[in-house]
Amino acid sequence: MARQDRSARRSHSESSLEPRLSRASVGRLSLYLRRLEEFQRAGIHRISSNRLGQPLAITDTQVRKDLAFLGRLGQPGIGYDVDDLIGSIRSTLGIDRCWSAALVGVGNLARALLRYNGFIERGFRIVALFDSDLRKVGQAVDDLTIYPVSRMKEIIATTGAELGILTVPASAVQNVADELVAAGIKGLLNFAPGLIRTRPGISVVNVDLTVQLEQLAFLVHLTSTEPLS
Amino acid sequence: MARQDRSARRSHSESSLEPRLSRASVGRLSLYLRRLEEFQRAGIHRISSNRLGQPLAITDTQVRKDLAFLGRLGQPGIGYDVDDLIGSIRSTLGIDRCWSAALVGVGNLARALLRYNGFIERGFRIVALFDSDLRKVGQAVDDLTIYPVSRMKEIIATTGAELGILTVPASAVQNVADELVAAGIKGLLNFAPGLIRTRPGISVVNVDLTVQLEQLAFLVHLTSTEPLS
């Protein structure tokens, strides 16, 4: 579950169905993209809304609504062109290019993220590492040197990092966010609990891993207490 | 962004506003809960929908709609009772008790999750660790011994684990899921890419960390290309 610091509004001329691309829609577009790429790899060129949504438990009405927002209308009985759709989603999400990120707080989660193939496959590269622990500074993780937070401005300018990934303790998160923004970072992905206050124009996505576990507990609780038909 | 293997339907007698508690609503209830607990710690006993939703960028209309689903109706000019609301959300989500989880795949992400205070604070305990790598088997991480996957059934029965957390490579995820389900696990939290196929009655929440980064890229892209008013 991600929360964002402001709603994702955009003007839209091609369709009046959905003038606002909500955070939920953006998330679904990401999921469609994964599926579509699987179909592309399997040599499938056309796909129905049903086949796209069904494994994700998303109704075809919702799929059609989300894709209509892109100006992509499937043809009845024929469906959507897989390649076209991939291109549309990537350009709408702004991921038809690479993004580079600086990561602050090099603990276990950071190491897991650095080795997470999904990021690289999707065009996200971690290009700089920072830590406030001077014992870690100077060490290398996967060919990246860990720099002290004091050199953030210089290293971010050199590497051209645009996004910041925060894997620091909750107590440090606001300070680190402020320093990243001061160094020119435009978007923050925060894994620490607690909300970040930023100025307008800076985007924040908070990742709260407990929310996911709570969703799971809710589903299991629901199944055990109110069996579904 | 989490996807679930089926929608979260429940019958609901107290309110006809929202007969279906969507995955998005469940996520928002988790977020409200965090905020409410902060207010509780700060000694605040009453809260308005606006004050609850605003830092989360959730409109007060949405907040009121979500809370109405719980049968909790705020009083105009007075707001909601913080303690009552916390109790309602916890019982609706099924987290008014502890949940125990078995974790499979003890790499960096697993170590990060084991040390993630948020889980313990929210009543989630990791009670068993498994790995297929025999070099890891027998080692202890945070007082938990790593067991071989072959002993899953026995250890899960002994520990009473109900949820399974999968931090294994994508290639292993379906097999591990099948073994966890065979061992009696009712809900799976999957950090690996790729969808898990399970039988009805088993809940799955997939955590795709790239989706969060893509949401952030989209927001930054949007800000840079279409400045908001």
Does some domain include residue A81?
Answer: yes
> Given an 8 Å threshold on Cβ–Cβ distance, is A220 in contact with B187?
yes
> Which residue range forms the structural domain that includes residue A81?
2-93
Phi and psi, residue A13, nearest 5°: -100, -25
Q: How far is CA A138 from CA A109, A134, A144, A149, B44, in A?
A: 19, 8, 9, 12, 46
Chain B residues touching A160 at Cβ < 8 A: none
Same domain, A79 and A123: no
Chain A residues touching B57 at Cβ < 8 A: 3-7
Same domain, B9 and B78: yes
Same domain, B139 and B169: yes
Chain A CB within 8 Å of residue B31 CB: yes
| A88 sits in which H/E element | helix A82-93
Nearest CA in chain A to B32: A211
Judged against a pLDDT cut of 90, whether residue B101 lies above it is answered with: yes
Residue A10 pLDDT class (50, 70, 90 cuts): very low
Chain Cα centroid distance, residue A183: 22
Mean pLDDT across the stretch A121-131?
92
The tens digit of pLDDT for each residue in B170-217 reads 899 999 999 999 999 999 999 987 778 898 899 998 888 888 888 888
Same domain, B176 and B161: yes
CB B100 within 8 A of CB B127: yes
> Given an 8 Å threshold on Cβ–Cβ distance, is B193 in contact with A109?
no
Q: Which of B2, B10, B220 sits opposite A222 (nearest CB)?
A: B10
Same domain, A46 and A142: no
| Dihedral (Cα; A108, A113, A116, A120), 10-degree rounding | -150
Q: How many domains does chain B have?
A: 2
Does some domain include residue B18?
Answer: yes
Residues 106-135 of A with CB under 8 A from B: 107-109, 111-113, 115-116, 118-119, 121-122, 124
Same domain, B113 and B132: yes
What is the spatial distance between Cα B57 and Cα A109, in angstroms, rounded to a whole number?
27
Does some domain include residue A185?
Answer: yes
Predicted model pTM: 0.78
Chain B residues touching A93 at Cβ < 8 A: 214, 217-218, 221
The tens digit of pLDDT for each residue in A64-113 reads 988 988 887 778 888 899 999 999 999 888 888 899 999 999 999 999 99
Residue A20 is predicted with a pLDDT of 60
The tens digit of pLDDT for each residue in A155-202 reads 999 999 999 999 998 899 999 999 999 999 999 999 987 778 898 899
Q: Which residues contact A31 (CB under 8 A, 6 or more apart)?
A: A56, A58, B1, B3, B208, B211
Chain B CB within 8 Å of residue A218 CB: yes
CATH number, position B116: 3.40.50.720
Residue A4 is predicted with a pLDDT of 45
What is the spatial distance between Cα A188 and Cα A211, in angstroms, rounded to a whole number?
19
Judged against a pLDDT cut of 90, whether residue B80 lies above it is answered with: yes
Chain B residues touching A108 at Cβ < 8 A: 108-109, 111-112, 115
Does some domain include residue B225?
Answer: no
Provide the shortest C-alpha distance from residue B21 to chain A (in Å).
11
Residue B133 tokens read as 């790598």
Provide the shortest C-alpha distance from residue B210 to chain A (in Å).
6
Maximum Cα–Cα distance for chain B, whole Å? 62
Same domain, A23 and A53: yes
Residue B199, number of CB atoms within 10 A of its CB: 7
Question: What is this model's ipTM?
Answer: 0.79
- Which residues sit opposite A9 in a β-bridge? A20
CB B176 within 8 A of CB B168: yes
Residue A28 is predicted with a pLDDT of 87
Question: Comparing A14 with B150, which gets the higher pLDDT?
Answer: B150
> Given an 8 Å threshold on Cβ–Cβ distance, is A209 in contact with B119?
yes
The tens digit of pLDDT for each residue in B196-206 reads 889 889 999 88
Chain A CB within 8 Å of residue B20 CB: no
Does some domain include residue A218?
Answer: no
Same domain, B83 and B18: yes
